Structure 1
């Protein structure tokens, strides 16, 4: 089985700016592949190239087994794209929007109507399908947007920051819909600014910085690049921060505003016991003590700052 997306050495320049600088990326079929990166890293440029909306200068880009430069029409038949901004008409009903997209894709009136009903049911919008979209919540609109991108049952779906501006409930609704898609065999490439989103959804993640991939792997593998477990100690009084920092293992960091000391540990339970004993000996009161794994946020900041693979 071929991979859903293969990019080798892709380059794209805008004047003096090198947007993509030898980008390499492989996305397996039937998975969610997250693409993370700071603003200006090249994420949206890469998506636009994969979706045949932009031509790259050098390299090879293949989507759904087709070359995006020489077989653009074939690629378009096999993909869907959900951008950052809603593409639906607020004055039309949900069903009318989906029917309109179906007609634009030349499905014919009957087939467009059938497909609209299928998608409304699939995304939990059957009861509201005849209401105007302006009456929808943010999460409902985004699910309708997602449904519209699936009118042609694409093999590969590009989601470019799909939950921007949504509240936690709306974001959870979209996450559930994406999981359902992948369960049905669709390949999803997801760009997002919400690292929790990538942590929740992505089977694998590529971190892009300065137009190239600087790290890749599962969320746990990326977190491991930061280091092992950590112990966080929040003190009641910031005056004890310096003293406690000297009592914790090497590499401790201090956040005075939050009265927080964080240090790497190798033995979780031993570290917890020793920390409590050290605080009692020093006569320092703690408000909270937590053992935790590194977060994807910490991994992202580390990887994009250091540029390590």
Structure 2
């Protein structure tokens, strides 16, 4: 596939990018069970947003409401500038949805799957074949195009699934568990596809059972728990919410080590390793404070490492869940 083009960074004073999704107070109940209890979201266009949460947290319900598959009981939401309740057709024309389970028809070829999707989008025969050929090439499926999709590997089926979603040239794509069941190489290939989509200006709404995937891809992450957003922000912002971060300094000179221990009186000592551990949230300001204290004392560490909690720590702390955030068989709610 062609190499992606890095988007031009936004300069200070530039207008913020328009919202691909804007939701306020989304609510949904099934009988006496409240699934969503007032969800607020703001997702800039041309970004990757990851929604994490344990089973039954309401992730799929959020996706279904935003993609107009079900209605909300309360609140408002706009997707690609269209109100999901007042203008569902406008939303559907602007989005693509790739579900957790492949929509590929294994009885027909990859090319026939693509042409069928082109027919559903009312493309002319000529335009449908042109779009199909371009997408098959983009997703490295040309050699397999004439083969039944049932013969495809898991990674090929997921690539075909996303290619079919792109036939309608959507401005926003919902990807529900796009790499579940894929081997590591296929997963990394899928990550590259997602990056290229965003480089082309597409907004990606991602649900995933792999916390490393959200950490790797998402510009912003929200953790959904008990029908509410427990926290949202960048991966680094979320990690700083959880205690346990620290800076570790290691010295080869015992005299420098002792002097640093005096200068950094709040540090935990490891006399055998000549190492100090200082509590830190991992921010640039906190790191600068430590370095300034060392500089003032005329001390230089031989090794400095910053340790911050990972997204697993964040997830477990916010949800109280001691397992993976998602399972492929998640309830539709």
Where on the TM-score scale, by shorter chain, does this alignment land: which range?
0.7 to 0.9
Greater helix proportion: 1
Q: Which runs of 4+ in 1 moved over 2 A?
A: 227-232, 270-278, 290-293
Cα separation, partners in 2 of 1:97 and 1:223, compared to 1, 3 Å: same
CA distance in 2, matches of 1:138, 1:226: 36
CA distance in 2, matches of 1:296, 1:108: 46
CA distance in 2, matches of 1:128, 1:116: 13
Q: Which residue of 2 aligns with 1:14?
A: 30
Structure 2 residue 84 is the aligned partner of structure 1 residue 51: no
Tell me if the contact between 1:143 and 1:173 (Cα under 8 Å) persists in the aligned partners.
no
CA distance in 2, matches of 1:137, 1:293: 37
Q: Which residue of 2 aligns with 1:299?
A: 314
Post-superposition CA distance 1:108-142 (Å, at most 9, x none): 22111111111111112122222221221111110
CA distance in 2, matches of 1:31, 1:99: 29
Q: How does 1:149-168 map to 2 (within 5 A)?
A: 149-168=165-184
TM-score normalised over the length of structure 2: 0.74
Q: Which residue of 2 aligns with 1:100?
A: 116
CA distance in 1, matches of 2:52, 2:72: 20
**1:39 counterpart (41, 45, 55):** 55
CA shift for structure 1 position 214: 1.1
Q: How does 1:140-151 map to 2 (within 5 A)?
A: 140-151=156-167
Q: Which residue of 2 aligns with 1:264?
A: none
TM-score normalised over the length of structure 1: 0.79
Partner SS for 1:33: strand
CA shift for structure 1 position 82: 0.5
Cα separation, partners in 2 of 1:128 and 1:272, compared to 1, 3 Å: farther
CA shift for structure 1 position 293: 2.7
CA distance in 2, matches of 1:44, 1:275: 51
Q: Which residue of 2 aligns with 1:201?
A: 217
CA distance in 2, matches of 1:104, 1:98: 10
5+ long unaligned stretches in structure 2 = 1-16, 249-263, 276-304, 322-333
Cα separation, partners in 2 of 1:184 and 1:57, compared to 1, 3 Å: same
CA distance in 2, matches of 1:101, 1:275: 66
CA distance in 2, matches of 1:38, 1:175: 22
Partner SS for 1:81: strand
CA distance in 2, matches of 1:56, 1:41: 16
CA distance in 2, matches of 1:155, 1:272: 54
Which stretch of structure 1 is more off in the superposition, 88-97 or 73-82?
88-97
Structure 2 residue 218 is the aligned partner of structure 1 residue 218: no
Cα separation, partners in 2 of 1:274 and 1:119, compared to 1, 3 Å: farther
Partner SS for 2:312: helix
5+ long unaligned stretches in structure 1 = 233-266, 279-289
Aligned length: 259
CA shift for structure 1 position 303: 1.5
Tell me if the contact between 1:25 and 1:213 (Cα under 8 Å) persists in the aligned partners.
no
CA distance in 2, matches of 1:212, 1:219: 19
Tell me if the contact between 1:99 and 1:116 (Cα under 8 Å) persists in the aligned partners.
yes
Q: Which residue of 2 aligns with 1:254?
A: none
Structure 2 residue 90 is the aligned partner of structure 1 residue 74: yes
Q: Which residue of 1 aligns with 2:128?
A: 112
RMSD: 2.1
Post-superposition CA distance 1:207-264 (Å, at most 9, x none): 11111111011111111111353599xxxxxxxxxxxxxxxxxxxxxxxxxxxxxxxx
